[in-house]
Amino acid sequence: MQTLGNFKLPPFFNYPPYFTLQPVRDTREKQVQLWKELILDYCKTQKISVIGLEEEFPLFSNPAIERSLTHEAREAFLAALVSEGRAEWLDKGHRKCLILWHRIQDWADILLNFVKDNGLEDSVMTVEEIRSGPESRGTDLQGVDRIILMRALKLLEHKGKLAIFKGTSADDEGIKFSR
Amino acid sequence: MGNLFVKKPKVTDVDKAILSLKTQRRKLGLYQQQLEAVIEAEKQAARDLIKEKRKERALLALKKKKAQEDLLKQVDAWVLNVEQQLADIELASKQRAVFESLRSGTEAIKAIQSEINLDDVQKLMDDSAEAKAYQDEINAILGEKLSAEDEEEILAEFETLESQIAIQDMPEVPTTVPTPDVVEETLDLPEVPKKAPVAANAEVDDAEIASKRKVLEEPLPA
């Protein structure tokens, strides 16, 4: 099995047809399904949260068989993820896509568990600390994409679980967790 | 439509202070990393320069490294200060929380106690004791009543019953095995005199003895 870095690629990655957008509906559905899963898996293990359609994305081409996904194909697969709720377009031109290998609600739950596990109720943390501090080492929160983190935090703020605030202008954004 | 009042936690000045300190800690951490990188680079540069036999430049690199190291030491001290202050704030806020709970606990006790007047309690205990004493009196009187009046009646009834049973017992004896019963009766006789003390009883006993002797004479000739 080929690998991309330390990620094991599934067998279909080596079959040229899979890199061409299939016209027949049934085969197209199967193809889309496989690519959707592959994209989510890959992004989860590599902790990638944003895919730029016009950029070089290692997953979208296989030099061994000299095939890569066309722009149309990429857009099709990502659009499928968007309609499933596992991704979001960051711009109208569909050039950048936010990959939600955890849904925002899942991230919110992860955050709540993080607060509980570290006894952070009623205390203050900076947003950076959540991403890169000692408490998040080894968890999914380590190095989490800022956009996704802010989305999850806003969701929790809306539910009253925390408050986002800023001190002086020099400060990081802070989070106060409720008790 | 839904809860307009979203109860977010309140952000106090203390929280803002903590945020400032934590931001500072993070920035100092980054600065430390920066300095460490420069120190390492200068060290490497010095090594290379010594290899190239450029003593002056090597010494300069080492001097720069030393300056950066001193700076790093100072930053380390600042970081410790910031950490210390964060810990102090944490401790102070926990102390305040403990104080608050103790205070509200004390207030709760006071409120409950204020509902109970000490005089009321004393009166209650006195009333209770009075009621109990009254009850005991009633019990005593009821108990006495029973023993004083009825006891004599009961005793009399008891003796009557006893004599009746004794009389009943006599006729029965012949119907059953004579000899053992006779022995028993002879045993009976000695007992009778024991009840002699009261005059009434003595009369009864004499009657008993007489009746028993009569009966005794009957079976023997048989």
Alpha helices, DSSP H, located in A66-103: 71-84
| pLDDT in the model for residue B148 | 64
> pLDDT of B144-181, one tens digit each?
766 666 778 888 898 999 998 888 877 655 655 555 55
Cα A152 to Cα A129: distance, rounded to the nearest angstrom = 15
pTM over the 0.90 mark: no
Residues of B in contact with A172 (CB under 8 A): 19, 22-23, 26
> pLDDT of B19-41, one tens digit each?
999 999 999 999 999 999 999 99
Residues of B in contact with A160 (CB under 8 A): 6-8
Chain B residues within 8 Å of chain A (Cβ atoms): 6-11, 15-20, 22-23, 26
Residue from the list A126, A129, A177 with its beta carbon closest to the beta carbon of B9 = A177
DSSP B161-221: HHHHHHHHHHHHHHHS-HHHHHHHHHHHHHHGGGGTTSHHHHHHHHHHHHHHHHHHHTTTT
> pLDDT of A43-55, one tens digit each?
888 888 888 888 8
Residues of B in contact with A162 (CB under 8 A): 8-9
Residues of B in contact with A124 (CB under 8 A): 15, 18-19, 22
B123 to each of A60, B80, B135, how far by Cα in Å?
91, 65, 18
* Complex prediction ipTM: 0.75
Task: Determine contact, residues A66/A14, Cβ cutoff 8 Å.
Answer: no
Residue that the structure tokens 């605030």 belong to: A165
Q: What is the CA angle B62-B63-B66, rounded to 5? A: 85
CB contact under 8 A, A165 and B23: no
CB contact under 8 A, B11 and A176: yes
What chain B residue is nearest to A158 in terms of C-alpha separation?
B6
What chain B residue is nearest to A159 in terms of C-alpha separation?
B6
Spell A35-62 as b/e; 16+ CB within 10 A means b.
bbebbbbbbeeeebbebebeeebebbeb
pLDDT of A136 higher than 80: yes
Residues of A in contact with B20 (CB under 8 A): 167-168, 170-171
A7 to each of A31, A53, A103, how far by Cα in Å?
20, 21, 22
Across residues A154-174, what is the average pLDDT? 86
CB contact under 8 A, A129 and B22: yes
In chain A, pLDDT over 70 holds for what percent of residues?
99
**Residue A151 is encoded by which pair of tokens?**
């989305």
pLDDT of B214 higher than 90: no
CB contact under 8 A, B26 and A176: no
